[in-house]
Amino acid sequence: MVDQMNNSNYTKWVACWGNATSISDREISTYSKNLTLRYPVRMCFNGSKLRFHFSNLTGTENVKITKAFVADVTKDDGSYKPVYIMHNGKAEIIIPKGEEVVSDEVEFEVRKGATLTVSLYFADFTQMSAGTLVSGPLSKAQFAYGDFADCRILPRDLSKSTQWFYFLNTIDVLTEEKNHAFVCYGDSITAQSWPDYLTLRLEEEKIDNVSIIRRAVCGTRILRQYDCITYQAYGLKGETRFPVEMNVAGASAVLIQHGINDIIHPVGEEVNQFRPWSDLPKAEEMAWGFENLYVKYAKNLGLKVYGGTLLPIYGWRTYAPFRNELRNQYNDYIRNTKSIDGVVDFDKALRNQEKPECFAEGFDSGDHLHPSEAAYKKMAEAVNLEFLK
């Protein structure tokens, strides 16, 4: 299967796809059985081997993947050949609670532009606790009731699309030395479409030596986290989360756009017992967290660090002038700090020029916090491509 003539060129492991892992939304039903999960992934590099990271970071029970397959579905010519993903030589993969495992290396001819599917089958009752919600034109997934992991097409009457990505955390490819990974770290803004649009922009610009790895969890904050089941899906605080998320093979840089939830969440215990005013930080505290929890750690890994400014929030349900002022103070810090290697001014790119606390026309999704699809495309355009080259 592997093109042996090019095999000698493939000497470096680089993450070619990735999401964060967090606590999935707490529902009445937290277990699944006899379930197939399928994740399509577009390949950005050529390569000769794959390895797969499976995370149960936020699980409280071990997870057993009964069997897992990877397959190239680019061609519909009868050449579909699913290949087992194994761990320690076994088809059954056990992910201990609170841990991550890396599969055995899989010999596989990887071609840039091809679409691979990763399919996981869970025969037994499985705690569906470790996952994250993402969206975007390249972030589509499916599940099916039954064992269809080695089938090319899931049965229509037993399958459904989903935006939840469980357990599969990162895919690495053995590729050429020139290739590297660029990490996008953040919250729900980054969990939505702009990293996918950045990937598509790179394809249009014919920049083919960098992958975009998304490490984003809806609701996360720099300085705090929730330990109640109501808000557990909002994820871990930066101090806990960032070191885990930076486990990215071949990473060269990280772009951090994070902090808006620190600003908009606190409302006082009289309104919400889980959101006290004591959780509201000062701009200096947020800057301290950015510097000490993110920048220093990333720099110690040898990564370049870029900061992204926070977007307008006028009209959001907890909006108040003092929150906007805090956002402006934090953005001024991001724009002026000397500790990072560059800035992506998302705020400037998306705000209304006459009323900068608001989104520009057409850039508000409607909730006055999250951008529209047009705005997500604009965010991708705002990234200086020199940061990625």
Tens of pLDDT along 290-321? 999 999 999 999 999 999 999 999 999 999 99
pLDDT value at position 5?
40
- Rounded to 10 degrees, the C-alpha dihedral 184/188/194/196 comes to 70
Report how far residue 74's alpha carbon sits from residue 113's, in angstroms, rounded to the nearest whole number. Answer: 9
Buried b (16+ CB within 10 A) or exposed e, 112-124: bebebbbbbbbee
∠ CA 317-320-325, nearest 5°, is 130
Judge contact between 178 and 69, C-beta under 8 A. no
Judge contact between 83 and 108, C-beta under 8 A. yes
Judge contact between 257 and 186, C-beta under 8 A. yes
Tokens of 337: 């700090």
Report how far residue 178's alpha carbon sits from residue 12's, in angstroms, rounded to the nearest whole number. Answer: 9
Judge contact between 146 and 34, C-beta under 8 A. yes
Nearest residue to 138 via CA among 187, 67, 197, 181: 197
> Over the stretch 112-123, which tens digit does the pLDDT of each residue have?
999 999 999 999
Report how far residue 243's alpha carbon sits from residue 213's, in angstroms, rounded to the nearest whole number. Answer: 15
List of the chain residues with pLDDT < 50: 1-5
Q: What is the pTM of this model?
A: 0.95
- For residue 38, the SS3 value is strand
Label the pairing between strands 180-186 and 210-216.
parallel
pLDDT value at position 6?
58
**CATH of span 179-387:** 3.40.50.1110
**CA 107 remoteness from chain centre:** 26
pLDDT value at position 1?
43
∠ CA 127-130-135, nearest 5°, is 125
